[in-house]
Amino acid sequence: MRNKSGDVAVLIYLATATVVIHLLVGGRYGFHRDELATLDDARHLAWGYVAYPPVTPFFGRVSLQIFGTSLTGFRFFAALACALSVLLTGLMARELGGRRGAQLIAASAAVPFALAAGSLMQYVSFDYLAWVATAYFIVRLCKSNDPRWWVAIGGTIGFGMLTKYSILVCAAGIIAGVLLTDLRQHLKSKWLWIGVALSVLIFLPNFLWQLRHDFVSLEFLRHIHERDVRIGRTKDFLPDQLLLNLLALPLAFAGLHFYFSAQAGHRFRALGWMFVVSFTIFLIAKGRGYYLAPAYPMLYAAGAVWGEDLLGKWRRGRANVLRATAWSALAIDMIIVIAFVLPLAPINSRWWDATVKINGDLREEIGWPELVETIAGIRDSLPPEERTRVSILAGNYGEAGAINLYGARFGLPQAISGINSYWARGYGNPPPETLIVVGLSRKFLEDTFASCELAGHITNRYGVANEESHDHQEIFLCRDLRESWPAFWQKFRRYG
């Protein structure tokens, strides 16, 4: 008799191992610029923000309450969300009929992206969990035909809407799955509509926030999408799918085969349509490649079950060779991600040089304390009477977040910025007179202020070239705004 509790325990061990890895290595460099913005937003809890819904800053706030400003602690809930996704992927395989081997194969295939996404405190981690949990509940629905599972599905979609609005693509896939399969019968069920109502109810506070703020996130998303298309971030959507899957790609194709061709997959076909519709929408809409990552665990689970059934029909020797090949491929995927995505490489080593060519985000974890220390030195160089009236104007959210995180030890004021949610927090009262400005071009500042002089340069102790130390390294000291502060601030809003 199968030990089902033992199967689940093994999956829990695997998922827990991903958290342990993050706890061991996650604090080696520093906060990423995106994390600095999230951390700052976590200090200003709201039902919405310009750049994202409220879930990620909420967990950031919980992290701050429990762990303080520990980098490893701040990333804990992102790592936990990804670990739960690994567990649910294995449980999906179990519900699809897979034994322990299939469950472990499916969960292991989900580990590489879970390690990558869980390495930063970002909405990608919670979005991943929302999609995977939704797929898991769809599997339970299809297996049991119990319409009460729609309540759980509605709950995870509502959670997803408070995490990242791309969960709407998943919902579109579910709609297609219902209309194109035997799930059509559930259209008459009250439970489906209770699930829909629950998702709307969960999302309602964020919707009301958007309503009060003129749906600013739609403008933000339009701007970001146009920027991504313009600079070419969306042109490699198809090649990016190869990078997302690495050597697990055959398993994903096997999952599609299971849903659309295998007899055992017929009642689960709605999940096949969920993937196909999501893939098509992102491809046509020119989404970035990683947007589709949360859709792959449902394929891994199905592919592992189909593969297990296929190997059961083969001779033992041949089957063992293929099993060993599959495990080797997944192990290689994990090693690649651990080596080139996690913050392991000694900075400026050959390993580091190879790593940042693959994962340039690691560069953006370097140098923030030094930036703030340099700004503090510039402030301290001012006459005593001017120091008390100085403000710090930051061009991007990384700079603003770093100043607000590290500046208190130097007695620096909170940064002001026109980027995303910072703009709504204003420029202070009374308005600034002397400004230390970072992250804005000399030409813009000379056009904006009557007096502007170069005051310093951004560097870091490792000499790493990143956005701060390379792209806009100059720090300026500016005075005498050419127009009124209200007029300037109205035009200064930026998205990024």
pLDDT reported for residue 465:
94
Strands (E), 8-141: none
Place 311 in a pLDDT band, splitting at 50, 70 and 90. Answer: confident
In tens, the pLDDT along 169-196 reads 999 999 999 999 999 999 999 999 999 9
CB 285 within 8 A of CB 168: no
Rounded CA-CA distance 241/234 in Å is: 12
Rounded CA-CA distance 25/345 in Å is: 10
Reduce the DSSP state of residue 494 to 3 states and report it.
strand
**Strands 390-394 and 416-417: what pairing?**
parallel
Segment holding 476, helix H or strand E: strand 474-481
Residue 238: CB atoms within 10 A of its CB come to 10
209 Cβ neighbours under 8 A, 6+ residues apart: 46, 47, 48
End-to-end CA distance of the chain: 56
Rounded to 5 degrees, φ, ψ at 63 are -60, -45
pLDDT reported for residue 264:
95
pLDDT reported for residue 6:
85
317 Cβ neighbours under 8 A, 6+ residues apart: none
In tens, the pLDDT along 18-47 reads 999 999 999 999 999 999 999 999 999 999
Mean pLDDT of 303-319: 90
CA triple 197-165-117, angle to 5 deg: 120
CA dihedral 13, 19, 21, 25 (to 10 degrees): -170
User: Distances from the Cα of 211 to the Cαs of 207, 218, 423, in angstroms?
Assistant: 6, 11, 18
Rounded CA-CA distance 474/479 in Å is: 16
pLDDT reported for residue 319:
87
In tens, the pLDDT along 99-119 reads 999 999 999 999 999 999 999
Place 1 in a pLDDT band, splitting at 50, 70 and 90. Answer: very low
Place 2 in a pLDDT band, splitting at 50, 70 and 90. Answer: low
User: Distances from the Cα of 30 to the Cαs of 35, 46, 184, 366, in angstroms?
Assistant: 10, 26, 50, 6
71 conformational bin, left if phi > 0, alpha if psi -120 to 50, beta if neither? alpha
In tens, the pLDDT along 331-382 reads 999 999 999 999 999 999 999 999 999 999 999 999 999 999 999 999 999 9
pLDDT reported for residue 3:
67
pLDDT reported for residue 7:
87
Rounded CA-CA distance 318/334 in Å is: 25
Burial class, 450, CB count within 10 angstroms (exposed 0-12 / middle 13-18 / buried 19+):
exposed
Rounded CA-CA distance 125/119 in Å is: 9
Share of the chain above pLDDT 70, in %: 99
In tens, the pLDDT along 451-466 reads 999 999 999 999 999 9
Rounded CA-CA distance 254/348 in Å is: 41
Task: State yes or no: cis peptide before 239, omega within 30 of 0.
Answer: no
Mean pLDDT score of the chain: 96
